Every structure is written in C-alpha cells, then in structure tokens.
Amino acid sequence: MSTHRARKRFGQNFLHDRGIIQGIVRAISPRQGQRLLEIGPGQGAITAELLASGCQLDVIELDRDLLPILEEKFSAFDNFHLHEGDALKFDIPGLAGNDPLRVVGNLPYNISTPLIFHLLSAQHCIQDMHFMLQKEVVDRLAAGPGSKTYGRLGVMAQYYCEVEALFDVPPESFSPRPKVMSSIVRLTPHAALPHPADSINTLQQVLREAFNMRRKTLRNNLKNSISEAQLTTLGIDPGARPERLDLAEFVAIANFIHRNPA
C-alpha cells in the first residue's frame, strides 16, 4: 500500500484515532442509498466507514498524490466516486442534481472559513453538513449575541442553518499532531429561513461593516449605510456594539438599506 507524508501547504493532518472516527460516523449516521459528499478524504480513514454503510459516496481531493492511494483502497466499491479538484471551486449544485447531498469533511484549517461560505451558498441542495474544524472556528459558528466569538461567520451560518457543536477532538488523534484542539460541528439548513433577507449581498455588506471594528458602535461602523435616526426607527440602539445584535436585527438593517437606496 502506498504511503503519503502530510503536506503543510494543504493543511493536512490525518485522523487515526479509531474511537473518534467511529464517533464521527455515528454522528453522521449514513444510510444505504443516501448521497454523501466527503471533502478532503485524506488517506480515507472516514471514507472506509462511510462506504460500509452502503451510501453513495462522492469524494473531492485536491492533493494529486493522494488520488492513487484512494483509488487503490476504494476503487472496488461500486458506491465510491472520486473527483480531483478544489472544493472551493467545485460545482456542488451540479453534483447534487435533484437529490440533496449530505456533506462531510475534515476541513483544512487554512481554507475552512471560505469553504463554509461556499457551501452555505449552495445550502438549498444540502441536507446537512458534518465538519471537523479548528475548535475556535466551531465556537465562532455556534456563538450567540454577547459572545466574544460572535461575528460574521456565525451570523451567516445561523442565517442558513441550525448549528450544533457536537464534540472535541484532541491533537493526539491526528498525525502529524496539530497545535490546536479540533471539534465536530453539524450544520442543518433550515427548511424555511427564519429571517429572510431581501438581498444576501446587502446582509453580508452590513455584517462586514458592523464587525470590521468590533469595539466601535453601530452608529460609527454603519454610518455610510444607515443613519442613527433610521437605526432608532428600527428599534435598534445606535450606541450598541455589533456583538449585541441578533440575526433578526441584522436582517432588519439590511432590508431597510436594500429598500431605501441612497
């Protein structure tokens, strides 16, 4: 069997702890015939357990040196489909077609945030997502108003999905050992958006401006988009810091700006 040394430029840390692997697969609970997409399968530690469920598994791998290893291990499985490519550029809706995908991944820390935003943009064709991420990122995804980790990533994740932090994964579960704690998170797209925005682009612009300088107030951070009087009309304190607002309030600001262009 071929061997492979983890590559720093791909942010690779290969999971080897059997108990953790089985815990992740239990959390995912794949079923016969379900369509799953695994991002960054690495050497296939989770892949093997997923295939054993009888699910239809597509995997995306960027590192060309891992492709023959994965082919060697899994090409005999009729339910295994390997794609070489960058998940950041992958056509998720095109792969899904009319069948919602369940997405799984041990995401490289260096691309986890942009990749999550890419997947959230395709949430209409995703049933759920289970990711292993740096614990700090999971804390940001799950954070609520008032938390120091609450920000743009969490607001946008919660706009589209229910976010559940499941369990932590210690550094010794990987080879090579990362310097940080990891966590497993489940993202389940809402059947109906609880607070729909008129324009996602406007909402993202508001969040970028609001959280650009966390210590400043809304009246300062949003002064180019909405006035102090207009914020007050919406029932929002212009003197509040951005981390005090909930999702519904950010959507209200974005909808007001979208409906009242300068």
Q: Are residues 179 and 226 in the same domain?
A: no
The CA distance from 148 to 140, in Å, is: 9
Whether 117 and 230 map to the same domain: the answer is no
Q: CA 144 to CA 150: how far, in whole Å?
A: 6
Question: Residue 253's domain is classified under what CATH number?
Answer: 1.10.8.100
Q: Where residue 111 sits, what CATH number does that domain have?
A: 3.40.50.150
pLDDT at 6: 44
pLDDT value, residue 7: 45
Predicted local distance difference test score (pLDDT) of residue 110: 77
Determine the pLDDT at residue 42.
87
Is 175 in the same domain as 205?
A: no
Domain identity same for 151 and 206: no
- How confident is the model at residue 176, as a pLDDT? 76
Tokens of 4: 């492979």
| Spans in the chain with pLDDT lower than 50 | 1-11
Please give the backbone phi and psi of residue 36, each rounded to the nearest 5 degrees, phi first.
-120, 145
User: Do 34 and 140 reside in the same domain of the chain?
Assistant: yes
Statement to judge: residues 45 and 136 lie in one domain: yes
With beta carbons less than 8 A apart as the criterion, state whether 165 and 183 touch.
yes
pLDDT at 15 (0 to 100):
87
In single-letter form, the type of residue at position 97 comes to G
To 10 degrees, what angle do helices 200-212 and 247-259 make? 120
149 shares a domain with 43: yes
User: Which residues span the domain enclosing 91?
Assistant: 8-189
